[in-house]
Every structure is written in structure tokens, then in C-alpha cells.
């Protein structure tokens, strides 16, 4: 079993749609959680951290459920520029463990 699991997609959605990505992690000792964004043939960049209380950054909302070991990312009002791969990441003892990523394609 992979330490961080994501549905690879692709998710194909129209502009303006709301889309949600889910992620599960296997190690309950994981300490902190993130979503990274990776554009095609580019490096990953931090999108947002994920907190137990849930957090929002503009159109993006992240949620963490430690009991279920489940992380989510919600994107509202999708833009063409949101097309990318979204990587779920957990920090375990200072080591970042990445999921395989979920690909989002937003279409006009």
C-alpha cells in the first residue's frame, strides 16, 4: 500500500465548476500536510498547507480529518489556469512524502 494515495484522474471539468480531490495517508504519525501544484513539465510548488480546522485561500479550501487519515482540496469556480497536477503531501518526521498526484484539466 502506498503511503499517500490519490486518484490520478484526470478530472475534466468546465470553467466555473467546483471540483474536489481526495487523498488518504497510511501513517497516523504524519505531522503536517500540504497540497502542492505541479504544472506540466515544471517543478512542484506549494499551494497551501492543510490544518485540522480546515483552511481557505481564495477559491481553494483544504480539509484534514486525522481520525480518517483523509485530506481534501476543493476548488470553486475553476479557471483555465487551474489546469495542473495537484500533489497531496504529508510530512513524516521531516520527510515529505508525495502522492502520485491528481490531474485537473479545466476546459472552456
- For binding to other proteins (CB under 8 A), which residues are involved? 4, 8, 31-32, 42-46, 87, 89, 91, 94-101
One-character DSSP codes across 52-95: TT-EEETTEEEEEETTTTEEEEEE-S--GGG-EEEEEEEEETTE
Q: How far is the CB of 93 from other proteins (least distance, A)?
A: 9
Q: How far is the CB of 95 from other proteins (least distance, A)?
A: 6
If the CB atoms of residues 13 and 92 are measured against other proteins, the closer one turns out to be 92
Q: How far apart are the first and last CA of the chain?
A: 37
- 107 contact partners, CB below 8 Å, separation of at least 6: 12, 13, 14, 15, 80
Q: How far is the CB of 43 from other proteins (least distance, A)?
A: 4
In eight-state DSSP terms, residue 39 is -
CA distance 43 to 17: 26
If the CB atoms of residues 6 and 63 are measured against other proteins, the closer one turns out to be 6
Q: How far is the CB of 58 from other proteins (least distance, A)?
A: 18
If the CB atoms of residues 5 and 69 are measured against other proteins, the closer one turns out to be 5
If the CB atoms of residues 60 and 98 are measured against other proteins, the closer one turns out to be 98
Amino acid at each position: 500500500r502506498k503511503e499517500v494515495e490519490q486518484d490520478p484522474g484526470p478530472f475534466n471539468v468546465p470553467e466555473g465548476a467546483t471540483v474536489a480531490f481526495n487523498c488518504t495517508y497510511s501513517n497516523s504519525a504524519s505531522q503536517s500536510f500540504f497540497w502542492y501544484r505541479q504544472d506540466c513539465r515544471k517543478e512542484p510548488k506549494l499551494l497551501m498547507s492543510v490544518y485540522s480546522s480546515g483552511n481557505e485561500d481564495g477559491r481553494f479550501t483544504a480539509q484534514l480529518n486525522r481520525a480518517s487519515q483523509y485530506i481534501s482540496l476543493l476548488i470553486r469556480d475553476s479557471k483555465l489556469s487551474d489546469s495542473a497536477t495537484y500533489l497531496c503531501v504529508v510530512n513524516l518526521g521531516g520527510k515529505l512524502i508525495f502522492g502520485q498526484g491528481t490531474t485537473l484539466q479545466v476546459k472552456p
